[in-house]
Every structure is written in structure tokens, then in C-alpha cells.
Amino acid sequence: MSIEDEYNEYGDISEGSLLGRTFKRWTAKIKEINKKYSQPRLKMTPLVKVSLLVLRLYLIMLVIILVYKFYTVVSFR
Amino acid sequence: MQLGANFFYKYRRFVKWLSLYLTLAGPGIIVMVADNDAGGITTYAATGAKFGFNLIWFIILLGPAAFAVQEMCVRLGAVTKRGHAEAIFDAFGPFWGWFSLMDLGFLDFLTLISEFVGMTAAMSVFGVPPVVTVIAVCILMMLIVMHGRYWTWEKLVLLFCGLNLIYIPATLLLHPDFGAIQRSFVPSFPNGLTPEIFFFLMANIGTTIAPWMLFFHQSSVVDKGLTEKDIPFARWDTLIGSFFVVLVAAFVMILTGTLLYKPPNGIDIGNAAQAAHAIIGSYPLVGAALAIGLFDAGLLGAICISLASSWAMGEVFGWAHSINNKISEAPMFYAYYILSLIVAGTVVLIPGAPLVLITLFVQVIAVTLLPAALVFLILLLNQEELMGKYKNTFLQNVIGLSIVTMIVVLSTLYAISVLFPEMFHQ
């Protein structure tokens, strides 16, 4: 086995496994947080639902404006 | 005899109240004074240079608006014992929780860069190279938090808050026209409500009420351990803080209004350091004070902004996240704090980094988070199960909703004006 092969076999695997372990740990943590807060404690009254809907629409509008700005900048260039 | 006894009793009660207040004071004053960060000072300096004293009345109106918003954060933190990020996750679920957390982390990082831009620009007035400023600030900010005591951190930061008042003696040295200042308290637009004035009004709102303030204030109330019975003291704390935020902002406007404003159209300045450079030749003390104040403003902003993110991340990820913890007890909390500082400081030192673009981008990203955070605040404050007798009254809701609507509309228009400047400049 050449040094290069040995590096690929051990170096890559150990690096990959470290990254993999870190990735898995973070994914598990995020899943745990999602599970912990999966049931919103706030009572979903019509007022709350409407407020959240308006908020979503507002954010979509902002995204459209940002995309339009990006488009005008790119097309201007 | 009876009169003397009554007076003595009232005096003793006041002294007791005052000593208790001084123990509990801190979060409100810090968040409000830090609100006058590098971006804020630049906006006020630019407003003064462009319009003289003519918009001081507007900044006075923003004080009560900032108080109303921050007072809600105090109540929410003291009652729920949770930071704003955790409260959003808990009440609205993961979608809105992650949205707020990611947005806050990104926005705070960009704002932190703009604070470093302000600090390096301020120190350049004294010939200090940016790399020295960045390293010194990082070391100073690590030392401020790393002794593991909230109390010590708070008192140190309050000292920096005191330094923010440097604009007052600096302005008084110039003997400004107090008659003109007094007349400026009456709302008016000398040349009408032009698109340019409208742009400056929106910029002033954008710098006076920022998303990080909500997260920082609520988390610091929780970290300090304030409870329901401390709410009246915390209200006074916030009220005094909002008084100082207006006072400092007004004096910065008076300073640049006195020295740089040339009627009828005034002059445009890019940042407060530019104003300090322009002033220091003819008024060395005043120019130096403006630069020191800008550095202090950037430092205060950086301290609060980096902590706002670290607290929020700690709350959600379940890390130990108190300044009362030592580094070994809360390694992730301090690692996030230090890493964000070092990365933001490094970005400023990169030759050709798009710093102006970042500063402008902060205003746009802020608008994606501010309305959401404010709407969540109002909704949370109306939950009887959560807030009990501390929930918003009808009057508080009317005031809160009016202010939130005004902030959302004007800050959105401001973001649009940053994206499409030709709309608001003649």
C-alpha cells in the first residue's frame, strides 16, 4: 500500500467520520429542538392566525422586492 | 414635630427605593444607550449636518416609542424568565423560531461588522491603525465578559454608557443657539416634507428601534434574575434609558448642526468619523470628543449585539448561557461570543471588503426581522395564560399597535429606499 493510499484510507475516513459525527450531532440537536417545540404553546385564535398569515405575506413581498433588486442589478451589468 | 417625622419617613423610603433601584438598574439603560451605536451616531450626525436643528423634535418623539417597545420586553422577560428567541420557539413553533434565530444571527453579525467599521474609523482620527483597534477591542470585549459575574459586567458597561454623554459637554463648548434649539421642539418641515427629509426620518427610526434590542433586553432581564416584583424598577430603568437615548441623539444633532449645517440645504456627510475629521482642525476638543463618542458607541453596540446573539443561541440550543457562568461552565456561549467578534473584526481588515454595502444591507435585513419580532411581542403580551395580570391592557395594546404599525411601515419604506435610492433623492 502506497503512502497516498494509506492517507486516503485512514486520513479521509477519520476526517470524514469527524465531519460526519459533527453533522449527525447537530442534526440530532436540531431534531430534538424541533420536537421540543413542535406544539406551539400559543393559542391559535383567529387573530393570531391572521397575524401570522399577514407576516408570511409581508416576508414574501420583501423576498420579491429583493429578488427584483438583484435582477435589476444583474441585468444592468 | 409631626411634619419633621413625616419628612424623615418619606426621605428614608425614597433612599430605600433609590438603593433598590440602583441594584436593579442596568438592562434598560444599557440597551437604550447602546442603541446609539456607531450607525445611530452616524445617522444623527448626518441629520444635523443636513437639516441643522430642524428634526430634533422628531428624535424626541422616538424616545417614548422606544420605551413602549422595550417595556414590553421587560415584562415578558420578568414574567416568563425566558429570552425572546426561546419565547418565540415556545409560542410559535420551530418555523418561526428558526426564522427568527437565523435572521437574528445573520443580522447581528452584519451589524457587528458595521460597529467595527465605526470604531476603526473613529480611532483613525487619532492615527490608530485599524488592525490595532480591532485587536484591542476584541481583547477588551473578552475581558469584560470573562470574569463570570453579571454584576461586574453590568457596572463596567454602565461606565461605557456614561462615556456616551461626552457629546453634551462637547456641544456646550460650542455655545449653540439655545433659542433656535427651543424653537426646534415644535414639529415642522422647513422646506416641506421632501423625499430627502422623509429618507432621514426613516433612517432615524431604523437606528432608534432595532431588532437586537428586543432580544438583548429580554435576555439581560432574565440573566439578571429580575422577577415580576421588579417590573416597576425595570420600567424606571427603561424610562431613564430612553431619556438618555434622546438626549445624546439630540446633542449629536446640535453639534453637527452648529458646526456643519449651512442653510438652506446643509451638507452631506458619509459617517460620523468624517464629521470628526472635518471638525478637529478648527475645534480639536470637539472633534476628538466626536471621535471618542463614536468609538464608545461602536463598542457599546458591539458588546450588546454579540451578547444578544450568544444569549439567543444558548437559549435555543440549551447551552449554559449566563454571564454569571465561567468559561468552563458555558464554553459554547463564550465560544460563539468570541468567534463572532473575531470574524467580524477580521472582515473589516480585509482589503476591499464591501463595507459600505454591508452597512446598507444591515438596514434591509433588519426589516425582515423587526416586524416579525414586534408582532410576536404584541401577541405574546396578550396571552393571559402566559402573562397573567401582566398582560397588555387595552390602552397598552392601542399604543403598542400604533407604534408597531408606524415602525413597520416606515422601516419597510426605509429598506426600499436603501434598495432603490433614486425614489427618495431628488
Residue-wise pLDDT for B102-142, tens only, equals 988 988 998 899 899 989 989 988 889 999 999 999 999 98
Tell me the helix, strand and coil percentages in chain B, rounded to 5. Answer: 80, 0, 20
pLDDT of res. B424 = 62
Residue A25: exposure state from Cβ atoms within 10 A (0-12, 13-18, ≥19): exposed
The answer to whether the beta carbons of residues B122 and B111 sit under 8 Å apart is no
- Which of chain A's residues have a Cβ under 8 Å away from the Cβ of B91? 40-42
The answer to whether the beta carbons of residues B258 and B174 sit under 8 Å apart is yes
Q: Confidence class of residue B350 from pLDDT cuts 50, 70 and 90?
A: confident
CA gap A58, A12 in Å, rounded? 46
Q: Which residue has the cell 482642525?
A: B281
pLDDT of res. A7 = 47
Residue B90 at interface with chain A, using a CB cutoff of 8 Å: yes
Mean pLDDT, all residues of chain B: 86
Task: Give the mutation candidate from A25, A32, A37 for the B interface (greatest B CB count, under 10 A).
Answer: A37
Q: What angle do CA B422, B425, B426 make, to 5 degrees?
A: 105
Other beta carbons less than 10 A from residue B397's beta carbon? 14
Q: Confidence class of residue A2 from pLDDT cuts 50, 70 and 90?
A: very low
- Which of chain B's residues have a Cβ under 8 Å away from the Cβ of A55? 371-372, 375
pLDDT at A13 over 50: no
pLDDT of res. A77 = 59
- Which of chain A's residues have a Cβ under 8 Å away from the Cβ of B386? 41
CA gap B110, B11 in Å, rounded? 49
pLDDT of res. B22 = 79
What is the model's pTM? 0.87
Nine cell digits for residue B70: 422595550
How confident is the model over B34-57, as a mean pLDDT?
Answer: 88
Nearest to B379 among A39, A48, A62 (CB): A48
Q: In Å, what is the CA distance from B129 to each residue of B134, B299, B392?
A: 9, 17, 50
Task: Give the mutation candidate from A29, A38, A41, A54 for the B interface (greatest B CB count, under 10 A).
Answer: A41
Higher confidence at residue B130 or residue A3?
B130
Give the contacts of B295 (CB within 8 A, at least 6 positions apart): B118, B119, B122, B123
The interface predicted TM-score (ipTM) is 0.75
CA–chain centroid gap for B7, Å, is 39
How confident is the model over B261-283, as a mean pLDDT?
Answer: 76
Nearest to A40 among B91, B317, B364 (CB): B91
Using a pLDDT cut of 90, give the percent of chain B over it.
39
CB contact under 8 A, A39 and B93: yes
- Which of chain A's residues have a Cβ under 8 Å away from the Cβ of B103? none
Q: Confidence class of residue A20 from pLDDT cuts 50, 70 and 90?
A: confident
pLDDT at B48 over 60: yes
CB contact under 8 A, B89 and A37: yes
